[in-house]
Structure formats: C-alpha cells, structure tokens
C-alpha cells in the first residue's frame, strides 16, 4: 500500500540543533557576516558558494532553519521566509511576472491579495482575470498566449471553496503556466506541491505560528525559484527586502513543531461547531460537512489525519444582526471579535466589512459573499461543547434560533 505523506513526521525527522548542542537552533543575531578573505566574499555575492552567509536580508541562519523545516513539510526542494504573508505573495508574483503577462486568479482570495492583483499589478501592465476557481472550464477559457500564472488558495478566503489543485496543475502544466497556491488555511491538511502546484505560499501569521504574536510568510518551491528570489541582481525578495527577523523565525520554528496537534484540535472543534450549527438549521459552510459542494473533492486531496480545518462561515440575515451576534459572543467569552485566524482562541469577523472589504460590494454580491456572513476561526478550546452552549445562548437572545 502507498504510504501516506506525513508532513509532521517530515518536520520531526529534521535534525536541527545549535553548534553547542542546544536542542533549539541558536538565534543568529547578526545583520552581517565576516569572511576570512575578500575573494570568498566576492564569490558569495556571485552566488558561487554553498553555506556562506553574507548579509541577513539575503539569508540568515535562523531563517534558513525555519525555511528548511517548511520546505520539508511541503515536500519542496527549498523555501524562503518573509516578513509577512503578503510579501511572500507579492514577491513570488513579481518574480514570475513581467509587463505584458497575464494572471488567472480565483475571485475569492484574501482581500489583500485581491487588492494587489486588481489595483496594484495594472501599474506594471500585468493583466489579471478573476474566475470562479471551481469552474475549470472558465479557468481554461481565460488562458491566453501570455498567461504566466494561475493563482488560487487551497481553501479560499472567505467562501471556503476548495481548489481542485490536481486538475488546475494539469491545466497549467499542459500550457506551460505556473500554478501558485496559498495554503494558509490548510497547512498539513493539504500539501499542494505533492498535488502538482509549482509554488506554495503562506501567511505564517496564521495556523503555522498559531500565537498571533507576529506577522510572517513563506514561499516554497524549487531551488532555482528560491535562488532567483534571493539573487543579488534581480531577486525580488532580495531587492524589495521583506526580511523576517531571526528572533521571530526562531519562535515560529518552535511553534511549527506543535502544528500537527493544533491542526487536529482546530479541525475536530470546527467539525463539532459546524455540525451543531447545521442541526439548528442555520446557513453554515464547512468543508467537512457532506453537503459542502467540494466535500468529495476535498477528501481526495487531504492528508487524512488532520481533519477539515478550523474555518467555518455562518450566514446571518443582515449585517446588523451579524455585528450584534459577534459583540455578544465576545462578551460571553466564545472568542474575540478580531480579524485573522489560526489562533488558539476562536476569532470571528464579518468578512465583507473587514478582510474582504477591498472587494467591491457589487462583486462581493456576485461571488456570494453576503453582508451578514460571519467567518469563524475555531480555537483550541478543551471543552468545545461549553463554547457551543455559549454561542447558542447568544443566538437565543437574538432570536436566531
């Protein structure tokens, strides 16, 4: 029988310790590095040396430890870490695309990504087509001779559509197009590179770090691509300079080692909440419920043991009701009214008025993002039944149930 890919074991099997035997790699607290001779410095600038560090905007050993662990988890040749998820996305796109190129993207993506694609790239004469990524014919229909990139999220923000990564990869490969996937919602659950994605990007800010104490990102792909990003002459990451602080990369690396446990708990708690909301007859969307339109597809691409993830949406009648419900849930201690996700506590926000507010109202309506949609990132609660009871109490008070 084919052995299932296990991202957690890939991380566990890495031997990363410091030069004095400390079990955690030491933090390299230096912006610059000495060379024993000037010739080696020149060779390093030319990219001819292995394992030499020249300046921390280029590479820092602590960042390298984190990048290596993430590459192991994603089963890619290499990875690069950045100071935010947005810089991982923007550097990757700008590294790949030039003026005159064309990108096809899912219309439902994180609002910052949408804004970059819609409002920022036209400055560089890069055209973008926005499609329903679950409609493969419309993806194919948008391909042009200058299409360079197909961009999507494994599970989209905020509508929780599941991207058919294997089919998108084969569409892209046949036409010499690159497939880039944002896997922020589904680390460990989905391994996009094993399904055919060329580049995988992350906001590490979310589930991977899990503590909401910093903003960070990662880019995973071939060694050639990562080297191109860091090229001193034309590497976008090197020249734009969104470098992650090594103190932070060190703490993210330690948190990465508990990601598998956290993902399982996020998933089982979310499954419980989603099932209970469903029983109450509410308009809940969760990719782990059999009535989710891509439930069957998702089951074919999941690394099974991590569940269906921690993200749920609930559609309420109006914005006013959604706002009042969130205010009450925060007062009752269900979680926090805050954007972001992947935190140990439950977070909730109204997507249309927050993380997708960059998407024009008309388009929000067209893609099915309703005014009263509340997006939940379900936390690690030990007693999720208790949290559900608190949620129900709020619903009763507001006559939602």
Interface ranges with ligand PLP (CB under 6 A): 84-86, 110, 112, 153, 157, 182, 184-185, 203, 205, 215, 217, 340, 355
Which residue number, 85 or 309, has a Cβ lying nearer to ligand PLP? 85
Which residue number, 168 or 328, has a Cβ lying nearer to ligand PLP? 168
Which residue number, 182 or 198, has a Cβ lying nearer to ligand PLP? 182
Return phi, psi of residue 375, to 5°: -100, 130
Shortest distance, CB of residue 205 to ligand PLP, whole angstroms?
4
> Measured between alpha carbons, how far is 245 from 71 in angstroms, rounded to an integer?
19
In terms of C-beta density within 10 A (0-12 exposed, 13-18 middle, 19 or more buried), how is residue 357 classed?
Answer: middle
Q: Which of 401, 398, 354 is nearest to 374 (CA)?
A: 354
Which residue number, 74 or 153, has a Cβ lying nearer to ligand PLP? 153
Shortest distance, CB of residue 376 to ligand PLP, whole angstroms?
14
Shortest distance, CB of residue 82 to ligand PLP, whole angstroms?
9
Whose CB is nearest to ligand PLP? 85
Residues near 148 by beta carbon (within 8 Å), at least 6 away in sequence: 96, 97, 101, 102, 103, 177, 178
Q: Using the CB atoms, write b or e for 117-137: b if 16+ within 10 Å.
A: bbeebeeeebebbbbbbbeee
> Measured between alpha carbons, how far is 42 from 286 in angstroms, rounded to an integer?
54
Which residue number, 97 or 216, has a Cβ lying nearer to ligand PLP? 216
Residues near 115 by beta carbon (within 8 Å), at least 6 away in sequence: 358
Which residue number, 53 or 336, has a Cβ lying nearer to ligand PLP? 336
Which residue number, 60 or 87, has a Cβ lying nearer to ligand PLP? 87
Q: Is the dihedral of CA 129, 133, 137, 143 positive or negative?
A: positive
The length of the chain in residues reads: 401
Q: Which of 271, 280, 221, 262 is nearest to 81 (CA)?
A: 221
- Residue 47 falls in which region: left (phi positive, over 0), alpha (psi -120 to 50) or beta: left
Which residue number, 186 or 370, has a Cβ lying nearer to ligand PLP? 186
Shortest distance, CB of residue 218 to ligand PLP, whole angstroms?
10
Q: Which of 133, 143, 185, 209 is nearest to 164 (CA)?
A: 133
Shortest distance, CB of residue 185 to ligand PLP, whole angstroms?
6
Shortest distance, CB of residue 118 to ligand PLP, whole angstroms?
15
Is residue 284 within 8 Å of residue 388, measured between CB atoms? Answer: no
Shortest distance, CB of residue 355 to ligand PLP, whole angstroms?
6
Shortest distance, CB of residue 182 to ligand PLP, whole angstroms?
5
How much of the chain is helix, strand and coil, in % rounded to 5? Answer: 40, 15, 45
Shortest distance, CB of residue 183 to ligand PLP, whole angstroms?
9
Residues near 184 by beta carbon (within 8 Å), at least 6 away in sequence: 85, 110, 153, 157, 201, 202, 203, 206, 207, 342
Which residue number, 259 or 388, has a Cβ lying nearer to ligand PLP? 259
> Measured between alpha carbons, how far is 232 from 217 in angstroms, rounded to an integer?
20
């Amino acid at each position: 029988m084919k052995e299932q890919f296990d991202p957690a074991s890939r991380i566990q099997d890495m031997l990363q310790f410091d030069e004095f035997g400390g079990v955690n790699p030491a933090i390299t607290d230096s912006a610059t590095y000495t060379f024993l001779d000037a010739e080696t410095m020149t060779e390093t600038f030319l990219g001819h040396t292995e394992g030499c560090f020249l300046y921390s905007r280029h590479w820092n050993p602590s960042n390298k430890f984190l990048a290596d662990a993430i590459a192991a988890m994603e089963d890619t040749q290499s990875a690069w870490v950045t100071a935010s998820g947005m810089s991982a996305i923007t550097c990757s796109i700008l590294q790949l695309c030039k003026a005159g190129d064309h990108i096809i993207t899912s219309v439902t993506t994180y609002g910052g990504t949408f804004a970059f694609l819609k409002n920022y790239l036209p400055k560089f004469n890069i055209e973008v087509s926005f499609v329903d990524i679950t409609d493969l014919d419309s993806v194919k229909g948008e391909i042009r001779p200058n299409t360079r990139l197909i961009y999507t999220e494994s599970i989209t923000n905020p509508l929780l559509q599941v991207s058919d990564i294997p089919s998108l990869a084969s569409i892209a490969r046949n036409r010499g197009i690159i497939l880039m996937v944002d896997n922020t919602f589904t680390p460990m659950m989905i391994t996009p590179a094993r399904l055919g994605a060329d580049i995988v990007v992350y906001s590490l800010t979310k589930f991977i770090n899990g503590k909401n104490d910093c903003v960070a990102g990662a880019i995973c792909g071939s060694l050639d691509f990562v080297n191109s990003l860091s090229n001193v002459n034309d590497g976008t990451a090197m020249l734009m300079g969104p470098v992650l602080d090594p103190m932070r990369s060190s703490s993210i690396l330690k948190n990465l080692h508990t990601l598998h446990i956290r993902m399982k708990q996020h998933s089982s708690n979310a499954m419980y909440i989603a099932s209970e909301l469903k029983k109450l007859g509410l308009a809940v969307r969760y990719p782990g419920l059999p009535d989710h339109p891509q439930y069957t597809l998702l089951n074919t691409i999941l690394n099974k043991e991590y569940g269906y993830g921690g993200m749920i949406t609930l559609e309420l009648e109006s914005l006013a009701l959604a706002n009042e419900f969130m205010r009450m849930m925060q007062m009752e201690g269900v979680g926090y009214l805050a954007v972001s996700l992947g935190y140990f506590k439950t977070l909730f926000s109204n997507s249309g008025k927050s993380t997708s507010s960059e998407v024009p109202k008309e388009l929000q309506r067209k893609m099915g993002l309703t005014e009263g949609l509340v997006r939940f990132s379900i936390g690690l609660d030990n007693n999720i039944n208790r949290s559900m009871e608190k949620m129900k109490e709020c619903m009763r008070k507001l006559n939602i149930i």
